Structure 1
Amino acid sequence: MSKPTTAPVGTVRPSQLLWTYGPGALVDLPNLSVVTMGLDLWRESLCEVLDEPRLLAAVRRSLGPQVERLRKPPVAEDDADPFSAEAHQGVPVRPFPRWLRCVRCGLLAEYDSGLFDLDPDPFRPERTSFVHTNCDKGKKSDAVPARFLLACGHGHLDDFPWHWFVHGGPSACRGTLRFFERGASLQTENLWVRCDECESAKSLAHAFGEEGRRALPACRGRHPHLDRYDSDCEARPRAVVLGATNAWFPVTLSALAIPLAEDRLGQFVQDAWEDLKEADDVGELKGVLKTLRKRGRYPVLDEVTPEDVWSAMERERSGAGGAEPDGVTESDMKRPEWTVLTSPSSSSAWPHFLSERVAVPAGFEAFLSEVSLVKRLREVNALLGFSRIDSPEEIRDISAHERIASLTADPPRWVPASEVHGEGVFLRFDERTLRAWEGWSAVGERDERLRRGHRGWRTSRELPPEANYPGVRFAMLHTLSHLLIREFALECGYGAASIRERIYAEDDPSDPMAGILLYTAAPDSDGTLGGLVELGKPENLGRIMIQALRRARICSSDPLCSEHDPGQDRSLHAAACHACNFVAETSCERGNRYLDRALLVPTFECSTAAFFGSL
């Protein structure tokens, strides 16, 4: 699947192509390092269509109306003959970085220089490697990727300029380069590069920090996943180590699949609108419905006729059946979910969503207005692009931001997506209690402390300093969500990294939101096993919330944790750290930002801003 050969070189899970190894990302295999190529080189016919009209509409708002579909990444057959065409189905990759190092003689050169050969293993793709066939110190010595690269904040990635670095700038010398070590440790000051011809040598310690910025050349605007160079990049590149987590950050959108229509037929028309709208009459519609029946995703098709569907489509076109899917914007993703989650009636007839309202735990009646057990849910995620060096703050900032790299050379016609099925617990907070708490002077002081950190963090990244601050309401809900994730993980048996959050926080007086959805999900169609729903029952949830709040009062890093001021170090959290409140970033909506234990319970440093202080 890579050039210059088409040999399989390894495997990753389909979900990893959204969160870890998407287009532009480096996959560090046992013997190789490869870059995942752009969607232009993916075989679209191998990528199954994923239906979720709300998410597709939001993707179009970000990337343009030319986006036709959401598609799942391709999946190769596990038991395919390694010499057959089926064994070569998958995602195209290419060796990157292009520079390799012989582990015996230290030769440093590009993989296509003629000094290295690819040694594929069709039966064990993970053993495919490059070898230095004519090494002076041993026949067929292994060649491994050079562990240093250049990256910039505008999404560009390039090979490390080894000749430039060794010779201190442009040089006519093109002697053979050698990589060697001095000293027992592998710190950068002990890693050296030498030119055999002019005997210039330099330590890799000079490639980092302020000295590295002066020693490295300007960014060439390279996108290796697109085989393209941008000509106008003014960002200063920096050296990064192969495998560094800041080399690729996914930019994603997610949505819960929720019922948006009152009847099953109307919901089916909205869900399958991208397929149905191509039919010009009932005759063509029959063929479309036949194809949809084969997919097996819409049980309602066994109960309706083509004429019924056509009538529902006419109502949809005229506006009588609700808003067009394309009218949904990215900023509105959570509002329909909030409406469904807080609805008194449960949508038990819909295959992807089922909730049941239960009593509020004893003692929490003043804080919570309702609790719902979401026994069935489906979440769909789409990959829009990626960034390097700095993670994108939030989707509203990046829709047209120059620092977000594209997945394709031209505007994309489709984007990768994945779906997960699971269960969860939804908590809705009492609006009157929450508004009274927001009016406390101590809460205002904590709010201003977080706001100062927000301004400093964004200013240091050349972003508008006041934009997109989520507010103290979000910070309180977010902090409680993390405490419950950690506590649920201890009780239900799921790993903390498998429990996710969705925070609904909006202080608009006319239409406020204040709620938390904690859910766990799996990529198979059966979802998860019900352990999280069991913990949402009143007799369990009250005990768990009390345990979580008690643990939050004292952190093992106190008093440093409770006294942390985000305004001083331009961070985005106050009284929070890995010991008490941080969770896996795959679980968190904001990458462990906007957290403060003092908004929930009394701490060493602040005892007057606690929402649950009277509990």
Structure 2
Amino acid sequence: MSTHAVGQVRPSQLLWTYGPGALIDLPNLSVITMGLDRWDIDRCPPVEEARLLDAVRRVLGAQVSHLRMPPFLNDEDASPFSAEGKVGVPVRPFPRWLRCVRCGLLSEYDLGLFSIKANPYRPEQTHFVHTNCEKGANADAVPARFLLACRNGHLDDFPWHWFVHAGPSPCIGSLRFFERGASLQTENLWVKCDTCGQSRSLVHAFGREGQDNLPACRGRHPHLDKYDSICEEQPRAVLLGATNSWFPITLSVLAIPLEKNQLSQLILDGWDYFYEVESVDEVKIVVKTLTKANSLPGIDKFPAEEIWLAIQDRKDGNTAEHVSDGDIKGPEWDVLISPNPPTDWPHFLSSEVARPDAYKDALDSVLLLERLREVNALIGYTRVEAPEESADEDERPPMSDLCKGKPNWVPAGEVHGEGIFIRFNEKAISQWESSDAVLLRDQKIELGHRGWRNARGLDPEISYPGIRYTMLHTFSHLLIRELALECGYNAASIRERIYADKDNKMAGVLVYTAAADSDGTLGGLVDLGRPESLGRLIEQALNRAKVCSSDPLCSEHNPNEDRSLHASACHACTFVAETSCERGNRYLDRALLVETFECKDTAFFSKATKNT
């Protein structure tokens, strides 16, 4: 089988947009990313993060040995015919059906009617041509932009013959795709059989009518070259490039120091390299290898003898074990609220500052994170419907596999940035959430949560995060929107991490930048966390939230009536980019922070805003 370079994507996109099983809609053709078993593991550098690896193992199994970054090309000027020029992930043309732009012929590319025209020096210009087109030789051929997908993660070519002939038919004539009318709406897109003359509009492939005009799901996984034996889900037509064709399921942790000293932390993070070491000489070999591969930065600063003693201590059980903790955010919270937080670690640099004077009753502390690293791992994906964000791992939606069999590694990525951690006053929050007005508001939002889950066939009794989470989450969104106006970073590059657990007395918000390069550590966000700036930004954010341009509709929104997961919130006042929110813009209500037209007695910051 011939191989050609067809384009480039960023390594981070192979986690969030174009991972295994996802379609990449290139300028001239469409391809699907193959499973992890086809990737060249030797080109995938390891990522060390013990807590995340342990979390991945709890989901995918103990056989997962490593987190690895997607392969990337170091030398952009490398010859396309050299080994370095072929670094990348394997893909395959999909859908298999192509359409000639001149004659409208619709056919599978592996029937030989279309041929690929590669351009090794301009990969983005690689495309298919219809060699013997009746309206001109070498006419361009483009992907047929219709597919079938189901909620079980299956993806298949659109059944063009079945659709045109309204079911099984002995006719196997060639098909033509053509347009009627000035617009490109589906009712103006038609396909016709040259042999029997049957024709049909693609409008009949969508909606409820499409359920009667499409065959049963074949259980196909094109990125794994396999079919599942049984699939009872109803397939639906999707467009090439539609966002609902692939939703990633990821896990993420902050790289925080869990040990008392840097060497113990390094041994913990890189234990897979050290657990078989039996002598100081072997330690020197491992350290030399890690240094050469730029893995486990900082380990080369310690003498081999000291590293060997630390390894022996860990083998003897003299070092506390942290990574077995099932709660990912719990250890992070303990570090962030520590009386003496780490101040100078390779991936964690923090400094505590004073709280804004106007909000001393509401806030407990503010911690500036001048250096921060977040590690993400891709563990699976879904199609058609996005995975539900839930703290309960037992409720995780059925995931499609990233490879054949159980994976022994998963793609991961690390992003560096800076952040502001704000801890709320636990006593103030406890008093606020126990008031009658807040309890009534909590019931209204919970009823919307129950209705939303009932409509999707999920257990309505679980996964409600509570009114505390909703308030902190809304505060985070308002602050992100305000920070984006002044910090100099793109709004979509600012993320949030909410710590809200009433039982463990967790009430805090971490707002941080997350960029795959050094752009996330320019200092613009941290400077705004100092008391003179943070107080002003909080005041501005709360004042903007009092009135929305969609009021009174926004403030009067009742989640119980339309079974939604937000109350007084919308795109005009509270929502942020999906890449910034950890809950997909759900569980938001600005009435929990400030007074709105509809609600006056549930605002947590009502006293603080009056004082300012």
Please give the range of the TM-score, normalised by the shorter of the 2 chains. Answer: over 0.9
Map of 1:39 onto structure 2: 36
Map of 1:388 onto structure 2: 383
SS in 1 for 2:471: helix
Q: 1:169 aligns with which of 142, 167, 174?
A: 167
Q: Which moved more, 1:294-303 or 1:375-384?
A: 294-303
Map of 1:10 onto structure 2: 7
What pairs with 1:80-479 in structure 2 (closer than 5 Å)?
Answer: 80-298=78-296, 300-323=298-321, 325=323, 327-329=324-326, 332-394=327-389, 396=391, 401=396, 403-479=398-474
Contact 1:116 1:132 in 2 (8 A): yes
Map of 2:556 onto structure 1: 563
* AA of the residue aligned to 2:26: L
Structure 1 residues 556 and 402: CA distance shift in structure 2, 3 A: closer
Contact 2:48 2:296 in 1 (8 A): no
Shift of 1:401: 4.8
Does the alignment pair 1:537 with 2:530? yes
Q: Which moved more, 1:447-456 or 1:594-603?
A: 447-456
Does the alignment pair 1:599 with 2:600? no
Measured in 1, the distance between the counterparts of 2:48 and 2:559 equals 42
Shift of 1:379: 0.6
1:335-357 Cα distance to aligned partner (Å, 9 max, x none): 11111111121312311101111
Contact 1:253 1:395 in 2 (8 A): no
1:314-348 Cα distance to aligned partner (Å, 9 max, x none): 322333211163x132xx11111111111121312
Structure 1 residues 303 and 212: CA distance shift in structure 2, 3 A: closer
Contact 2:388 2:397 in 1 (8 A): no
What pairs with 1:570-609 in structure 2 (closer than 5 Å)?
Answer: 570-609=563-602
* AA of the residue aligned to 1:179: F
Shift of 1:160: 0.7
* AA of the residue aligned to 1:11: Q
Contact 1:23 1:37 in 2 (8 A): yes
Map of 2:69 onto structure 1: 72
* AA of the residue aligned to 2:149: A
Map of 1:487 onto structure 2: 482
Measured in 1, the distance between the counterparts of 2:390 and 2:287 equals 35
SS in 1 for 2:82: coil
Q: Under a length normalisation based on structure 1, what TM-score does the superposition of the two structures give? A: 0.96
Contact 2:130 2:138 in 1 (8 A): yes
1:224-266 Cα distance to aligned partner (Å, 9 max, x none): 1111111121111111111111111110011111111111221
Shift of 1:128: 0.5
Contact 2:64 2:408 in 1 (8 A): yes
SS in 2 for 1:363: helix
Structure 1 residues 534 and 283: CA distance shift in structure 2, 3 A: same
Contact 1:165 1:215 in 2 (8 A): yes
Shift of 1:302: 4.5
Structure 1 residues 396 and 369: CA distance shift in structure 2, 3 A: closer
Contact 1:62 1:400 in 2 (8 A): no
Map of 2:500 onto structure 1: 505
Measured in 1, the distance between the counterparts of 2:392 and 2:158 equals 30
* AA of the residue aligned to 2:200: K
SS in 1 for 2:103: coil
Measured in 1, the distance between the counterparts of 2:239 and 2:519 equals 40
Contact 1:376 1:421 in 2 (8 A): yes
* AA of the residue aligned to 1:392: P
Measured in 1, the distance between the counterparts of 2:567 and 2:208 equals 29
Measured in 2, the distance between the counterparts of 1:302 and 1:280 equals 18
Map of 1:58 onto structure 2: 55
Q: Mark the runs of 5 or more structure 2 residues left unpaired by the alignment.
A: none
1:465-519 Cα distance to aligned partner (Å, 9 max, x none): 22211111111111111111110010111111010100001010xx211000001
* AA of the residue aligned to 2:233: A
Contact 1:375 1:530 in 2 (8 A): yes
Measured in 2, the distance between the counterparts of 1:237 and 1:446 equals 39
* AA of the residue aligned to 1:574: A
Structure 1 residues 38 and 101: CA distance shift in structure 2, 3 A: same
The root-mean-square deviation of aligned C-alpha atoms, in Å, is: 1.5
Contact 2:390 2:463 in 1 (8 A): no
* AA of the residue aligned to 2:120: P
Map of 2:509 onto structure 1: 516
Size of the alignment, in residue pairs?
Answer: 607
SS in 2 for 1:614: helix
1:280-336 Cα distance to aligned partner (Å, 9 max, x none): 3444333212212324455654453333222222322333211163x132xx11111
* AA of the residue aligned to 2:470: A
Contact 1:398 1:404 in 2 (8 A): no
* AA of the residue aligned to 2:87: Q
Structure 1 residues 217 and 165: CA distance shift in structure 2, 3 A: same
Q: 2:18 aligns with which of 21, 39, 42?
A: 21
Map of 1:612 onto structure 2: 605
* AA of the residue aligned to 2:12: S
Contact 2:150 2:235 in 1 (8 A): yes
Q: Which moved more, 1:294-303 or 1:413-422?
A: 294-303
Contact 1:385 1:406 in 2 (8 A): yes
Structure 1 residues 414 and 298: CA distance shift in structure 2, 3 A: closer
Q: Give % identity.
A: 63
* AA of the residue aligned to 1:33: S
Contact 1:392 1:398 in 2 (8 A): no
Contact 1:6 1:88 in 2 (8 A): no
* AA of the residue aligned to 1:167: H
Measured in 1, the distance between the counterparts of 2:489 and 2:69 equals 25
* AA of the residue aligned to 1:611: F
* AA of the residue aligned to 2:571: H
SS in 1 for 2:540: helix
* AA of the residue aligned to 2:592: L
Measured in 2, the distance between the counterparts of 1:564 and 1:227 equals 47
1:99-128 Cα distance to aligned partner (Å, 9 max, x none): 111111111111111111101111110010
Measured in 2, the distance between the counterparts of 1:114 and 1:358 equals 68
Contact 1:250 1:385 in 2 (8 A): yes
Contact 1:63 1:412 in 2 (8 A): yes
Shift of 1:527: 4.3
Measured in 1, the distance between the counterparts of 2:282 and 2:453 equals 53
Q: Which moved more, 1:82-91 or 1:92-101?
A: 82-91
Map of 2:521 onto structure 1: 528
* AA of the residue aligned to 1:71: R
Shift of 1:157: 0.7
Measured in 2, the distance between the counterparts of 1:268 and 1:248 equals 36
